[in-house]
Amino acid sequence: MFFGKKIECTHDRVHPDTDAQYCPDCGKYIENKWYLTRCACCNIKRKTIIKHGEIQPSSHYCPNCGAETFRVELVKTINFIDINFAVLVKEINEEKSKNRCQSWVERQPEPIRLLGLNLT
Ligand SMILES: [Zn+2]
Ligand SMILES: [Zn+2]
């Protein structure tokens, strides 16, 4: 048993092929977002990684033109070519995570009523 600080959820059970869903482990509303980097000079797609929490190309310089600068692009619909370049970022939608909480509170009286019936 762990009594210490809870380890931050990595939302592993949120499927990469859905756009968004609630994480079964932490209950947050998770949006799957794909990002890739492009060379700022020749616009070629760069193989993308996440390092120190930042989206960046896997190599320091563009293999096509040698430039160092890049830009990050959000991929709206991932395809089988881009998937080789892109990284998946599981972003928490705090707004929707809160909404789920409210609807749970509204539905709460129901099981209590059922419990009362069982007692009589
Ligand atoms: Zn989670
Ligand atoms: Zn380039």
25-84 per-position pLDDT tens digit = 999 999 999 999 999 999 999 999 999 889 999 999 999 999 999 999 999 988 999 999
Q: How many A from CA of 85 to the centre of ligand 2?
A: 15
CA distances from 4 to 1, 7, 8, 58 (A): 9, 9, 12, 35
Task: Please state the pTM of the whole predicted model.
Answer: 0.71
* Contact between residue 39 and residue 70 where contact means Cβ atoms under 8 Å apart: yes
Ligand nearest to the backbone CA of 6: 1
Q: How far is the CA of 72 from the centre of ligand 2 (A)?
A: 14
Closest ligand to Cα 38: 2
- In DSSP terms, 33 is beta-bridged to 89
Between the CA of 28 and the centroid of ligand 2 the distance, in Å, is 38
Q: Tell me which residues have their CB within 5 A of the ion that is ligand 1.
A: 9, 11, 23, 25-26
